[in-house]
C-alpha cells in the first residue's frame, strides 16, 4: 500500500483466501485491506495516537439510518456522553476529494449532528467546524486534539 500524508503506524496484516487483510484493533478482527481501509486505519490511529482521542470513543463503520436506508459512517468520534463529536469520511488515496464527498458527509451529518467533519483520502484532509445555529461551517487549518474538540 502507498505512503499517505499521515504518520507511519505499525499494522498487522495477513492473507486469507488470496486477499490481503489488516487487523483493526477497534473492531478486534481482520478486515479486507482495501485502499479506503488503508486510509481509515491510518486516520483512526492518527486520531488516537496524535490527537489523544480515547480509542473506546471511536466507532468504525458505524451503522445508522438515513432516509429509511441503512448507512455506515467510516468513523465517528463520540464525546464522553456518547454524542457524535466528529464524523470522518474516508476515500481511497486515488479518489479526489470533491463536492460529492462533502455532500455525502453532510447528508450523514443531518442524522449524526457532529460539530466537526473530516473528509480525507490519506493525502489531502479537509476538516471543518459546523455551526448549527447559523447553519454555516468553517474550514480548520488543523484538527485540534480531542479535549479541544470538547471545548475543554
pLDDT digits (tens, 9 = 90+) for 51-110: 999 999 999 998 888 788 888 899 999 999 999 999 999 999 999 998 888 888 888 888
Q: What is the mean pLDDT of residues 26-33?
A: 96
Distance, CA of 43 to chain centre: 7
Separation between Cα atoms, residue 98 and residue 84, nearest integer Å: 24
pLDDT for res 64:
82
Question: Would residue 18 be called left, alpha or beta, if left means φ above 0 and alpha means ψ between -120 and 50 degrees?
Answer: left
Global confidence as pTM? 0.92
Residue % of the chain over a pLDDT of 90: 74
More reliable by pLDDT, 71 or 28: 28
DSSP 55: G
Report residue 71 as a C-alpha cell: 448507512
Per-residue pLDDT for 152 more than 80?
A: no
Predicted local distance difference test score (pLDDT) of residue 106: 85
C-alpha cell at 83: 454524542
> Do 48 and 55 meet the contact criterion of CB atoms below 8 Å apart?
yes
Report the pLDDT value the prediction gives residue 116, as an integer from 0 to 100: 96
Amino acid at each position: 500500500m502507498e505512503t499517505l500524508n499521515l504518520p507511519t503506524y505499525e499494522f498487522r496484516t495477513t492473507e486469507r483466501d488470496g486477499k490481503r487483510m489488516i487487523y483493526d484493533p477497534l473492531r478486534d478482527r481482520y478486515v479486507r485491506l482495501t485502499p479506503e481501509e488503508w486510509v481509515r486505519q491510518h486516520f483512526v490511529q492518527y486520531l488516537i495516537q496524535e490527537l489523544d482521542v480515547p480509542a473506546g470513543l471511536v466507532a468504525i463503520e458505524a451503522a445508522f439510518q438515513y432516509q429509511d436506508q441503512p448507512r455506515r459512517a467510516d468513523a465517528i468520534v463520540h464525546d464522553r456522553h456518547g454524542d457524535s463529536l466528529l464524523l470522518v469520511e474516508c476515500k481511497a488515496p486515488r479518489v479526489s476529494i470533491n463536492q460529492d464527498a462533502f455532500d455525502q458527509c453532510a447528508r450523514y451529518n443531518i442524522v449524526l449532528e457532529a460539530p466537526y467533519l473530516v473528509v480525507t483520502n490519506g493525502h489531502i484532509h479537509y476538516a471543518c467546524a459546523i455551526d448549527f445555529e447559523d447553519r454555516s461551517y468553517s474550514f480548520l487549518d488543523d484538527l485540534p486534539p480531542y479535549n479541544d474538540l470538547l471545548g475543554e
